[in-house]
Structure 1
Amino acid sequence: MKFVFLVQGEGRGHMTQALSFAELIRSQGHELAAVVVGKSERRVIPDFFLQKIGAEVFPVSSPNFESDGAEKRILLGKTIFKNLGKLPKFWNSLEQINEILEETQPDFVVNFYEALGGWYHLFFQSKATWWAIGHQYLEAHPEFHFAKGRPLGKFLFRTHTRITAMGAEERLALSFLPKENYGNLQVVPPLLRKEVKQLSGSEENFYLAYMVNSGYATEVLDFANKHPEISIKAFWDKKEAREIEQPLPNLSFHRVNDQTFLQAMAACKGLVCTAGFESVCEAMYLGKPVLMIPVAGQYEQACNALDAEASGAGMASDSFDFGKLKNLTQSNFEASLEVRTWNFAWPRILRDLIEKHTIEKQVFENRANPTSPAFS
Structure 2
Amino acid sequence: RARAMQKAFKEAGVSVDWVFSGRPRESYFDMETFGDFRCFKGLSFSINAGQIDPIKTVTEASFKLLLKDVGTLDLRGYDLIISDFEPVVAWAAKVKKVPCIGLGHQYAFFHDIPKVKNALASYAIMKWFAPVNFAIGLHWHNFGQQILPPIIEQNLSPKQATSKKALVYLPFEDTQDVIETLNSLPFDFILHSKDFAPGTYNNVQVKGFSVTGFHESLSLCDSVICNAGFELASECLSLGKKLLIKPLKGQIEQTSNALAIEQLQYGYVTQEIDAKSICLFLTTAKSTQVSYPNVSRLIAQWILEYPDKPFSDLVEKSWADVVVQSDLIEDNNVTPVRVA
Q: TM-score, normalised by structure 2?
A: 0.82
What's the CA shift for 1:269? Answer: 2.6
Aligned to 1:223: 181
Aligned to 1:323: 279
Please tell me whether the aligned partners of residues 139 and 149 of structure 2 are also in contact (alpha carbons under 8 angstroms). yes
Q: Which runs of 5+ in 1 are unaligned?
A: 1-16, 361-376
Please tell me whether the aligned partners of residues 204 and 268 of structure 1 are also in contact (alpha carbons under 8 angstroms). yes
State whether structure 2 residue 159 is matched by structure 1 residue 200. yes
State how 1:57-68 maps to structure 2 within 5 Å: 57-68=37-48
Counterpart residue identity of residue 163, structure 1:
W
Please tell me whether the aligned partners of residues 309 and 316 of structure 1 are also in contact (alpha carbons under 8 angstroms). yes
Deviations along 1:48-83, whole A, 9 cap, x unmatched?
Answer: 2x1233x21111111111233xx4321123312332
What's the CA shift for 1:132? Answer: 0.7
State, as a whole percentage, how many aligned pairs show the same letter: 18
Question: 2-side partners of 1:88 and 1:349: how far apart?
Answer: 34
Please tell me whether the aligned partners of residues 280 and 313 of structure 1 are also in contact (alpha carbons under 8 angstroms). no
Question: 2-side partners of 1:126 and 1:351: how far apart?
Answer: 24
Query: Residues 203 and 347 of structure 1: is their aligned pair in 2 closer, same or farther, counting only changes over 3 Å?
Result: same
Query: Residues 328 and 353 of structure 1: is their aligned pair in 2 closer, same or farther, counting only changes over 3 Å?
Result: farther
Aligned to 1:23: 7
Please tell me whether the aligned partners of residues 115 and 160 of structure 1 are also in contact (alpha carbons under 8 angstroms). no
Question: 1-side partners of 2:251 and 2:167: how far apart?
Answer: 22
Deviations along 1:102-144, whole A, 9 cap, x unmatched?
Answer: 3xx222211111122343245x3144x31111112222222x1
Question: 2-side partners of 1:174 and 1:353: how far apart?
Answer: 16
Larger % of helix: which?
A: 1
Aligned to 1:14: none
Aligned to 1:180: 144
Counterpart residue identity of residue 46, structure 1:
Y
Aligned to 1:88: 64
Query: Residues 359 and 140 of structure 1: is their aligned pair in 2 closer, same or farther, counting only changes over 3 Å?
Result: closer
State how 1:162-173 maps to structure 2 within 5 Å: 162-166=127-131, 168-173=132-137
Q: TM-score, normalised by structure 1?
A: 0.74
Please tell me whether the aligned partners of residues 165 and 171 of structure 1 are also in contact (alpha carbons under 8 angstroms). no
Please tell me whether the aligned partners of residues 229 and 257 of structure 2 are also in contact (alpha carbons under 8 angstroms). yes
Question: 2-side partners of 1:116 and 1:264: how far apart?
Answer: 34
Question: 2-side partners of 1:179 and 1:261: how far apart?
Answer: 31
Query: Residues 118 and 30 of structure 1: is their aligned pair in 2 closer, same or farther, counting only changes over 3 Å?
Result: closer
State whether structure 2 residue 123 is matched by structure 1 residue 158. yes
What's the CA shift for 1:44? Answer: 4.4
What number of residue pairs does the alignment pair up? 307
Please tell me whether the aligned partners of residues 209 and 232 of structure 1 are also in contact (alpha carbons under 8 angstroms). yes
